Structure 1
Amino acid sequence: MHPNLLLTKKTVEIIRQEKDKYPLFHNTYQKIKNYIDSVIAEPMDVPVPKDAGGGYTHEKHKQNYNEMYYAGILYQITQDEKYAVFIRDMLNKYAELYPKIGQHPQSKIETPGRLFWQTLNENVWLVHTIQAYDCIYDWLSPQDREKYENNIFNPMCEYFMEHEEEFNRIHNHGTWMVTAVGMTGLVTQNDKYVQYSLYGTHLDGKGGFIKQLDLLFSPDGYYTEGPYYARYALWPFFIYAEALENNKPELKIYQYRDSILKKTLNALLQQTNTNGAFFPINDALKEKTWQSEELVIASNLIYYRYDKDDNLLSLVNEHGRVILSYAGLVVAKAIAKRESLPEFKWKSIKFSDGADGKQGGLAILRWGNNKEELSTLVFKYASHGLSHGHYDRLHFLYYDKGSEIIQDYGAARFLNIDQKFGGRYLPENKSYAMQTIAHNTIVADEKSHFDGKRSRAEKFHPEEYLFDISDANFQYVSAKEKNAYKGIELHRTLALVKSHQHDYPIIVDVFRVNSDTEHQYDLPYYFMGHIIDINFDYEAYDNQRVPLGKSNGYEHLWVTAKGKGNGVSSLTFLSDNNRFYTLLTTCDNSTDIYLTQIGANDKNYNLRNEQGIMFRKKAKNHLIVSVIEPHGEFNPTLEYTKNSYATISDIKVLYNDGNYTVIEIINEDKSGINLFIANNDPSKNKVHNINTGNAQYSWKGPIHLKYIN
């Protein structure tokens, strides 16, 4: 019985009766109807594939599957045959074209497609087109159905399944591929396709949709490739889940793994800045936000299939559109019945990584009651992240007042821009963006973690040491990495501290490195803003610049200035949110300080020219402590500046050895804080005592904050 994927005969009847009752659904429907009506009036083009991403043929085939998809929904709702005729005529053209074309002329190292340069895009084409076919299945003649299945759908599915490695791959590419084949099987009554899609081409459960659900998510919903690709994977996960629920309810797919799909969406929403942009860890483009279509689909289906969580309604309302299915109608109805909607609440939270939840994690520390003043510290101590992972163990990001303050570069890619390598990942993604030096973490001897080898990186993960968000004014997280470099242990502790001494929360960063042999340690911070003031002497490279190094990403960094440590360095910059930030860092006169700019050895202008500061020290064991203080305001409209100078004046290391670290942060008025850390004992009840000769310290628990008034 058709339709049988996201739409069913029963739900279509309800939609026909109620589509105009609820503004959000009606407006979405009307906008799409107007668009498709205009498309139908224009000439149809199904070109021979020749272009990579962003080129005409690539974009035209994408446009075609979207138009068929929407036309199918409109046919079901309106029963107007013009929409079915449109799909039939386009399928006729594809039935003529597809058997004649071989491997796409622009295919590169990725699994090649035929309509597109990679099979991933072809999977997406089939996911959309099979839904259009489902919507007109009963309207078509048996001869037409046979033609389309024999000339398009079956050959395409067989082609996908021939690429067993990709089909069985635990990765978002694999998710799209099994979804395309499985949904085709549901429409064409081909149980082989459905079984292969669920359990892999060997039907042994080592591949397929179920295994994807088992391995790609941690028990609390963190997606191992990071939030950017979690977003992309939501689309096939949710639409195939909905199709399975409508056809194979005995699978109870929405309840699988303790409702893992619901957890995944909730986890992903927390991995955003206040503008909805996903944290750009691993391969990620910063432009992607929760306005993307994947989030529209997921939020609608989650609301419909689970417990009607009203916290999702503000997000749906912000989308300004719903999916044209019964789920979309349910959400639109819920919004129409409410006079006000609860705002989405960001919170401090920790996500484990790995299918077993024991492969590190991602910690998000937040302070503030409204998004205009929210401070967010993100600490990444997760596993590698499959093929899209970066070599960035113990890396962090910092957002404040809606802006990036300490950034992650993300990926080097211009999606769907033909001139930029056909929209693919650029060579600089591997030579710079993936490398350790592109991140805010320690680099030893100018070599990336695990020597930049994914096979090694995937064998290990950092170990969480501490995590506590019970006190909103003193939240902290700590993790250790013992395998990124042979014979070197990295231990980083980050705290978000809000006290009466400062107007806004400060970030405290304590980074310890231990080794039996001497190494060169580099710690960069990539700050977003205009430099206002620097307190150390430096030589500006204003006439001639040189790259920072020759390989492992160093070759892409210009040295714009070089200075020496002076005890505690200070760099103040002004963010685009018109707030000042001062980065203070402990560094003696044996520490070299580099100001850098991304973009060296970049003859094709593929990299963004953003700046950073880097601290270099040769040592066996090394401790570097940094504090980021937000302060003041610059108002260009009313022409005033407040508190452009930081209140913190000094950082002192009072004690440091393998077991304990004690630091003191001093303000101009001599107030401040002491931070006590037990480096090897996470017990909350242990009492620690240190006698330095000059002072005695005692505290309880692995970390303790003491105010100096």
Structure 2
Amino acid sequence: MSTALRSDRIAHILKEEIDKLQQAGSLSIPKEPGGWWHQYVCPHHHTELVFDDGQVDATDFACPHGCSIEGEAYRGAWLVFKHQLLARVALQAAAVYAALGEVSYARLSKRLLVEYAEQFPLYPVHPEAQSWMLKGRAFHQALTEAIWSTTLIRAYLLLRDKGVVFDGKEQAAIDVFLGLLAGSMEEYRHILIHERNNAENNYTAWLNASLSCVYAARGEQAALEALIEGQGGFKHHLSIGVKPDQFEFEGSTYYHVFVLRAYLIAAEMAQRFGIDLYAVTGAEGQSMRGMLEALAELADDQGALPALHDGPLARAPYAREIAEIAEQGLAIYGIAGLAPVLREAYRQLGAAGGEQLEALLYGTDERPQAPAAPRASRLWPDAGFVIGRVAGNPLSFLADFGEHGGSHGHYDKLHLTLMHPAQTLTPDFGMVPYGSHMRKSWFAETSSHNTVSLDGMSQAPHEGRCVRYEAANDGKSVYAWLQSTGAYEGCTMNRHLLLTDEWLLDWFQVELAEGARSIEWWMHPAFQPLTGTLEERDEVYTLRIKEKDASASAIAELKLPIIGGLVPDAGQLQLSYALGENTVVFHTALAESGDELLAVQTPGDSIDPSQPLTAVLHRRNDRRADFIHVYRADSSASIIRVSTQEIEITVPGQPESASRIQLTEDKGLIFI
């Protein structure tokens, strides 16, 4: 299909979407400002509430499990979605007009723009906003306002590009809107950059994007150039808000996409003045190309991005954002690795053929195909992530040893994600909307991640390090030695990950300076483990949650039912996980005297925490612990402890496959 034919097909699909909304009478602008979208979450099930695009108005809000929720906070959050929908419809209608030339869609887009411009001065500087927020008019947060405004102004510019004329009264209203918006965005930039000394904040990227749109709409090239070059501007933010290895400084995939999208909007506006920001690099080589390539390398084999630190595991608005940047990454930079990322985003949206506004605005049919060769292992030394991949082994791993991540970080150092082309087996389960108390009581805590905790307490916010990273020259193995000394006082944790073409070895060693404690190794599979004997246990696991800056006595508790004890056979526990039809991953744990292996019922993932999952807890009450686990696809492997620092791994039925591995002080794991 030619580009023209594909665009025409997509435009007709988008036109039908608009027609349905018009028929439902849902394209009227609310006179009330929006609140904070993160409060649109069920207080009972902690799932995001349902938003119906065709709904005209709402005062009660549906949970996917049947709850009916009422309250001003939920109403305010619903209004955020409504305002964002209407801005998107304005842009979508402008795009349909640009593609098909049907004037009624230009009129619709223009009506929405002018009505918002007239209403904007009537919204108050939001009195209901929380104290920490930079306040908006149309929303609690100026951040939400900045994002919303870029969509409206892009619609306005697209209409102007296609010859649509605004009369004197209409243009005067838009000029007032642009003036008020510019004033607040400039004020908040000053607060963030100069008063709070927080120019690297992801907020700044969006204030810049909004102002870039304002300056483009007004034709103010000098103002845009000053914004690009000045403190906290495009080039400066790229240098301080992104690590030299191309990852957003908070270590969050979601906020990486979030900031990158703002950068791309600023670049789109600059291009209107003949200024090319697409090739700009930061002080240490940071670039939009590099940020896009990082996402292509980070995605699993299906194209899904991991939910590192704060961010949703999957969510339709997020999928649209991913689609927007992936379309541009393919069209502008030709990054073939983004093709599966884009396909997965559209799959989540139920638009396998790319029948989306993002495809119409940014897409091209001249997309490079993803390379046939498997992706290599990769270390991000500044962001603190490592991926291990070996040709011939369907298993791969992703581990996190980097900075805590500030307000968007998790207490998850040395977390391990285990991936397979069929499914990711042990993902980071993401983050619920911030209005849910489970944000802090579970999803950010150490025990919800695939790492080690002590005594039911979470790690301190800290940064680990990569002691050694080595990909073998023959391509048959990759090794990462990750270390943490800041998680708990007097505690040293070393995680050794060795991936070969046969299996993955995870040797997690914990040593305390003094005293025995409950040392707890966690694994959270996304699938119910298949197991043999399960001993009944009348016991719960207690997660102790200390609020930031709270006194030692201010500790909340979350009690998790222990389903039972996992019974090993001849010193080994054998588990398996069915990831799909004819796809099984086998898990072998070395069980030594004094070890407990337990099945623990935990909340579900961040999409639906009310659907419980079963975690594996391997714990030992001691001053030192070695947690030795092996994973293999399709058939199991066995582990024998030869000595304190030496093991042997064999594959049943393949005696020639025996591998003897030693843990040394200087080199870590070595084959002997």
Judged with a 3 Å threshold, the aligned counterparts in structure 2 of structure 1 residues 213 and 568 are, in CA distance, closer, same or farther, namely farther
Q: Deviations over 1:595-635 (max 9, x none)?
A: 211149x9xx8554111121222333332211123335xxx
Bigger CA drift: 388-397 or 160-169?
Answer: 160-169
Distance in 1, Cα, partners of 2:529 & 2:216: 59
Give the residue type in structure 2 aligned to 1:614: L
Judged with a 3 Å threshold, the aligned counterparts in structure 2 of structure 1 residues 582 and 110 are, in CA distance, closer, same or farther, namely farther
Give the equivalent residue in structure 1 for 2:578.
Answer: 575
Give the residue type in structure 2 aligned to 1:32: L
Give the equivalent residue in structure 2 for 1:147.
Answer: 173
Q: Deviations over 1:578-609 (max 9, x none)?
A: 44444332343322333211149x9xx85541
Q: Does 1:388 align with 2:385?
A: no
Give the equivalent residue in structure 1 for 2:551.
Answer: none
Give the equivalent residue in structure 2 for 1:233.
Answer: 259
Judged with a 3 Å threshold, the aligned counterparts in structure 2 of structure 1 residues 304 and 533 are, in CA distance, closer, same or farther, namely closer
Give the equivalent residue in structure 2 for 1:623.
Answer: 626
Give the equivalent residue in structure 2 for 1:67.
Answer: 89
- Cα distance, 1:195 vs structure 2: 5.6
Greater relative contact order: 1 or 2 (C-alpha under 8 angstroms, separation 6 or more)? 2
Give the equivalent residue in structure 2 for 1:641.
Answer: none
Give the equivalent residue in structure 1 for 2:141.
Answer: 118
Distance in 1, Cα, partners of 2:5 & 2:481: 48
- Cα distance, 1:181 vs structure 2: 1.6
Q: Deviations over 1:520-575 (max 9, x none)?
A: 2111111233333246x73334xxx6343443696252222246888734041332
Instruction: Note the aligned Cα RMSD (angstroms).
Output: 3.6
Judged with a 3 Å threshold, the aligned counterparts in structure 2 of structure 1 residues 621 and 184 are, in CA distance, closer, same or farther, namely same
Give the equivalent residue in structure 1 for 2:117.
Answer: 95
Give the equivalent residue in structure 2 for 1:282.
Answer: 309
Give the equivalent residue in structure 2 for 1:663.
Answer: 647
Task: For residue 451 of structure 2, give the secondary structure of its aligned residue in structure 1.
Answer: coil
- Cα distance, 1:65 vs structure 2: 0.5
Q: Deviations over 1:645-679 (max 9, x none)?
A: x352x4305243xxxxx222245566621112333
Give the residue type in structure 1 aligned to 2:89: E
- 1:582-601 maps to which residues of 2 (within 5 A)? 582-599=586-603
Of the candidates 343, 364, 371, which is equivalent to residue 331 of structure 1?
Answer: 364
Judged with a 3 Å threshold, the aligned counterparts in structure 2 of structure 1 residues 480 and 234 are, in CA distance, closer, same or farther, namely same
Distance in 1, Cα, partners of 2:611 & 2:409: 20
Q: Is the 8 A contact 1:68 1:132 kept in 2?
A: yes
Judged with a 3 Å threshold, the aligned counterparts in structure 2 of structure 1 residues 401 and 556 are, in CA distance, closer, same or farther, namely farther
Of the candidates 373, 381, 394, which is equivalent to residue 374 of structure 1?
Answer: 394
Distance in 1, Cα, partners of 2:106 & 2:142: 27
Give the equivalent residue in structure 1 for 2:6.
Answer: 24
Distance in 2, Cα, partners of 1:290 & 1:462: 34
Distance in 1, Cα, partners of 2:20 & 2:625: 66
Bigger CA drift: 383-392 or 561-570?
Answer: 561-570
- 1:274-313 maps to which residues of 2 (within 5 A)? 274-287=301-314, 292-306=319-333, 308-309=334-335
Task: For residue 558 of structure 2, give the secondary structure of its aligned residue in structure 1.
Answer: helix
Q: Does 1:268 align with 2:257?
A: no
Give the equivalent residue in structure 1 for 2:445.
Answer: 435
Task: For residue 540 of structure 1, give the secondary structure of its aligned residue in structure 2.
Answer: coil
Distance in 2, Cα, partners of 1:191 & 1:571: 65
Judged with a 3 Å threshold, the aligned counterparts in structure 2 of structure 1 residues 311 and 52 are, in CA distance, closer, same or farther, namely closer
Q: Is the 8 A contact 2:588 2:637 kept in 1?
A: no
Judged with a 3 Å threshold, the aligned counterparts in structure 2 of structure 1 residues 402 and 581 are, in CA distance, closer, same or farther, namely closer
Q: Is the 8 A contact 1:558 1:599 kept in 2?
A: no
Give the equivalent residue in structure 2 for 1:127.
Answer: 150
Q: Does 1:365 align with 2:365?
A: no
Task: For residue 124 of structure 2, give the secondary structure of its aligned residue in structure 1.
Answer: coil
Distance in 2, Cα, partners of 1:655 & 1:593: 20
Q: Deviations over 1:453-483 (max 9, x none)?
A: 5xxx3xx442342232534332221121222
Q: Is the 8 A contact 1:314 1:344 kept in 2?
A: no
Q: Does 1:705 align with 2:667?
A: no
Q: Is the 8 A contact 1:71 1:84 kept in 2?
A: yes
- 1:235-634 maps to which residues of 2 (within 5 A)? 235-249=261-275, 253-254=279-280, 258=285, 260-287=287-314, 292-306=319-333, 308-309=334-335, 319=346, 320-321=353-354, 331-332=364-365, 334=366, 341=369, 346-353=374-381, 357=382, 361-368=384-391, 374-413=394-433, 424-450=434-460, 453=461, 457=462, 460-498=463-501, 505-520=502-517, 521-534=519-532, 538-541=535-538, 546-551=540-545, 555-562=558-565, 568-578=571-581, 579-599=583-603, 606-632=609-635
Of the candidates 647, 653, 660, which is equivalent to residue 674 of structure 1?
Answer: 660
Q: Is the 8 A contact 2:126 2:135 kept in 1?
A: yes
Give the residue type in structure 2 aligned to 1:539: E
Distance in 2, Cα, partners of 1:328 & 1:98: 26
**Structure 1 unaligned blocks of 5 or more:** 1-18, 414-423, 499-504, 633-645, 657-661, 682-701
- Cα distance, 1:493 vs structure 2: 0.8
- Cα distance, 1:405 vs structure 2: 1.9
- Cα distance, 1:509 vs structure 2: 0.8
Give the equivalent residue in structure 2 for 1:219.
Answer: 244
Distance in 2, Cα, partners of 1:397 & 1:147: 52
Judged with a 3 Å threshold, the aligned counterparts in structure 2 of structure 1 residues 39 and 554 are, in CA distance, closer, same or farther, namely closer
Number of residue equivalences: 600
Judged with a 3 Å threshold, the aligned counterparts in structure 2 of structure 1 residues 435 and 312 are, in CA distance, closer, same or farther, namely closer
Judged with a 3 Å threshold, the aligned counterparts in structure 2 of structure 1 residues 512 and 574 are, in CA distance, closer, same or farther, namely closer
Give the residue type in structure 2 aligned to 1:96: E
Q: Is the 8 A contact 1:497 1:507 kept in 2?
A: yes
Give the residue type in structure 2 aligned to 1:30: H
Judged with a 3 Å threshold, the aligned counterparts in structure 2 of structure 1 residues 608 and 281 are, in CA distance, closer, same or farther, namely farther
Q: Deviations over 1:278-311 (max 9, x none)?
A: 11221232225999333433334334434x4556
Q: Deviations over 1:484-512 (max 9, x none)?
A: 222222111101122xxxxxx32201112
Distance in 1, Cα, partners of 2:631 & 2:559: 26
Judged with a 3 Å threshold, the aligned counterparts in structure 2 of structure 1 residues 680 and 321 are, in CA distance, closer, same or farther, namely same
Distance in 2, Cα, partners of 1:539 & 1:247: 70
- Cα distance, 1:230 vs structure 2: 2.2
**Structure 2 unaligned blocks of 5 or more:** 38-50, 52-74, 347-352, 547-555
Judged with a 3 Å threshold, the aligned counterparts in structure 2 of structure 1 residues 192 and 118 are, in CA distance, closer, same or farther, namely farther
Give the equivalent residue in structure 2 for 1:696.
Answer: none
Judged with a 3 Å threshold, the aligned counterparts in structure 2 of structure 1 residues 313 and 142 are, in CA distance, closer, same or farther, namely same
Give the equivalent residue in structure 1 for 2:58.
Answer: none
Judged with a 3 Å threshold, the aligned counterparts in structure 2 of structure 1 residues 410 and 34 are, in CA distance, closer, same or farther, namely closer
- Cα distance, 1:130 vs structure 2: 0.8
Q: Is the 8 A contact 1:50 1:105 kept in 2?
A: no
Task: For residue 247 of structure 1, give the secondary structure of its aligned residue in structure 2.
Answer: coil
Task: For residue 185 of structure 1, give the secondary structure of its aligned residue in structure 2.
Answer: helix
Q: Deviations over 1:225-275 (max 9, x none)?
A: 332332333322212223223325266644556472112112102222222
Which of these two proteins has the greater Rg computed from alpha carbons?
1
Give the residue type in structure 2 aligned to 1:523: W
Task: For residue 287 of structure 1, give the secondary structure of its aligned residue in structure 2.
Answer: coil
Judged with a 3 Å threshold, the aligned counterparts in structure 2 of structure 1 residues 568 and 178 are, in CA distance, closer, same or farther, namely farther
Q: Is the 8 A contact 1:24 1:321 kept in 2?
A: no
Judged with a 3 Å threshold, the aligned counterparts in structure 2 of structure 1 residues 38 and 197 are, in CA distance, closer, same or farther, namely farther
Q: Deviations over 1:357-386 (max 9, x none)?
A: 3x5x212122456xxx83221121222223
Distance in 1, Cα, partners of 2:634 & 2:80: 48
